Amino acid sequence: MNKATRILCAVLAAAAISLFAVQLSCRSALHRENKLVIAVAYDGDNNHIEVQNLKYISRCVEAFQTQYPDIDVEVETISYDTYSNWLYDSLLYGKAPDLFTVLPQDFPILTSLGVLEEIGGTSYEGRIAPAILKTWNRSGVLYAVPYATSPPCLIVNKSLLSPYETPIDDTNFDWFDFYYYCRNYTSDTDGDGTVDTFGVSNMNWRTAVYANGQSLFDLSSLTTDFNNPNVEYSVKLATSMNRLTLEDSNGSFEHNHALIKVTDLAEARYYVKNYPQMDLQILRIPKGPDGPYRTEPYDCCAFGINKNSAAKASAKQFLQHMTLDEALQTEFLSYGYAFPVLKSVQQTEAAAADMEAYIDPQALALLLSESETIPIEFVEYYDLMGIADKEIFQYIQSNIDIESELNGLNGRMTEMFQSTLKSAAVS
């Protein structure tokens, strides 16, 4: 059964979940109030592609049970690749854990089904940056909280910069500079006819569109905006950069074949700690000329609470423990590559010392506090963006007029957007 079918089944089952709330509550309350079951989506290691960090979670469990010895905590780990399907099945059959990983792509589905407990933002407001909490907020209600954050950023291998080049200044770095480095540092260095060094690696058109403050879907008018001039400008920038770097492949940055890589803070810190031979610098992704910088949801270290859990109180206590405890959040700096969410820890000397050689402290503070995510307001967002990805990749590979192609794409995306919303309404 594919994802779309599973989601449809989940939506159809939502009514049953509502009608039999008491029954499902009893069934999902297999765990007594003094037993807390936590499910963690895990990708196999604690390295730079950070989904969840088991070392930190285990440390939080240890500290929590020291404080609350009467509460038995059990942690289940599920492969990241199968986690979403596992979670949907667990919720539908009343076997979901009390506290579980909420992935960004699952959040719209879980909120639409009404299976997440309202967490209450009072404890978190002022202590965690609003930009981080906003991702997990719907209609003024907080439904999940991450214990770590990893906003998109750039990592620069300054070893590849020409000695005559002006040092890159984070405060003045803009789209013109971005393209300049992509064009001027992409070349065939060994003369074999194949480009082997790249100015920019891993650039994505979606990164450009949202960094330029644009929106692609309008729920009020039921239209899409792929042919908006500002969207077109963003896609043209990304397309121009991607056409220069078509031969780019995974590993080019690690092997000193890319000057700049579009990445996230966790992976950037991974490079900093594991590639000491490189002279590295971390930069914010520059915002475009037409709007405020935004990005798609990025944090995978968030947890939500099962609305039908018998251990809600314990789940809320544990969630606050792992996200708001200063001692634990400070320890996280040594456990993981992402960054702790607690502002008081982000601003400590230890945090500054860990990063100051690679990013200006003020720039780091802005990166952590101002990486606002776009709201994902309908379940099918990621499916539709996947379709757009494939079409725009074809534009990149061929020398065609972007403007006319985006007009055609916009018409098709509007039709699919309206169709998916109508189907959801009927369901």
The percent of residues above 90 in pLDDT, for the chain, comes to 71
Residue found under tokens 């169709």: 419
C-alpha–C-alpha distance, residues 129 and 350, integer Å: 19
pLDDT of residue 237: 94
Q: Is the confidence at residue 224, as pLDDT, over 50?
A: yes
Q: Is the confidence at residue 78, as pLDDT, over 50?
A: yes
DSSP strands (E only) in 174-298 = 198-201, 217-218, 223-224, 258-264, 280-283
Cβ-Cβ contacts under 8 Å for 329 (sequence gap 6 or more): 147, 323, 340, 341, 342, 345
Question: pLDDT tens-digit profile of 316-345?
Answer: 999 999 999 999 999 999 888 999 999 999
**Between the ranges 114-118, 248-252, 348-352, 391-395, where is the mean pLDDT highest?**
114-118
Sorting pLDDT into bands at 50, 70 and 90, what band is 14? very low
Cβ–Cβ < 8 Å for 37, 99: yes
* Residue of higher predicted confidence among 417 and 19: 417
pLDDT of residue 336: 81
Sorting pLDDT into bands at 50, 70 and 90, what band is 266? very high
Sorting pLDDT into bands at 50, 70 and 90, what band is 24? very low
Question: What residue spans define the domains of the chain?
Answer: 3-150+297-370, 152-294+378-426
Helices (H), 227-311: 229-244, 265-274
The percent of residues above 70 in pLDDT, for the chain, comes to 89
Q: What is the mean pLDDT of residues 170-196?
A: 90
* Residue of higher predicted confidence among 16 and 338: 338
Question: pLDDT tens-digit profile of 276-330?
Answer: 999 999 999 999 999 999 999 998 899 999 999 999 999 999 999 999 999 999 9
C-alpha–C-alpha distance, residues 351 and 91, integer Å: 38
C-alpha–C-alpha distance, residues 266 and 153, integer Å: 10
- DSSP reduced 3-state for 307: coil
Q: Is the confidence at residue 50, as pLDDT, over 80?
A: no
Report the amino acid identity of residue 54.
Answer: L
Cβ–Cβ < 8 Å for 252, 214: no
C-alpha–C-alpha distance, residues 52 and 226, integer Å: 34
CATH 3.40.190.10 fits 3-150+297-370, yes or no: yes
C-alpha–C-alpha distance, residues 309 and 78, integer Å: 19
For strands 99-101 and 35-42, give the pairing: parallel
- DSSP reduced 3-state for 382: helix
- DSSP reduced 3-state for 100: strand
* Residue of higher predicted confidence among 216 and 2: 216
**Integer CA distances (angstroms), 213 to 44, 206, 220, 265, 381, in order:** 35, 11, 19, 21, 18
Cβ-Cβ contacts under 8 Å for 292 (sequence gap 6 or more): 213, 372
Sorting pLDDT into bands at 50, 70 and 90, what band is 27? very low
Q: What is the largest CA-CA distance in the chain?
A: 71
- Among left, alpha and beta (phi > 0; psi -120 to 50; other), residue 190 is alpha
Cβ–Cβ < 8 Å for 124, 142: yes
pLDDT of residue 338: 92
pLDDT of residue 163: 86
Sorting pLDDT into bands at 50, 70 and 90, what band is 423? confident
pLDDT of residue 355: 92
C-alpha–C-alpha distance, residues 30 and 289, integer Å: 54
Q: Is the confidence at residue 354, as pLDDT, over 90?
A: no
Q: Is the confidence at residue 249, as pLDDT, over 90?
A: no
CATH superfamily of 152-294+378-426: Periplasmic binding protein-like II (3.40.190.10)
**Integer CA distances (angstroms), 153 to 19, 45, 170, 269, in order:** 45, 22, 11, 11
Q: Is the confidence at residue 349, as pLDDT, over 50?
A: yes
Q: What share of the chain is helix, strand, coil (3-state, %, to 5)?
A: 45, 15, 40
pLDDT of residue 28: 44
Sorting pLDDT into bands at 50, 70 and 90, what band is 22? very low
Closest C-alpha among 374, 401, 355 to residue 296? 374
Q: What is the mean pLDDT of residues 387-410?
A: 91
pLDDT of residue 427: 57
Q: Is the confidence at residue 124, as pLDDT, over 60?
A: yes
* Residue of higher predicted confidence among 44 and 211: 211
Average pLDDT score, the chain: 88
**Integer CA distances (angstroms), 325 to 38, 127, 342, in order:** 18, 11, 8
Cβ–Cβ < 8 Å for 98, 306: yes
Helices (H), 283-401: 312-324, 326-335, 343-346, 349-355, 361-370, 381-397
pLDDT of residue 51: 58
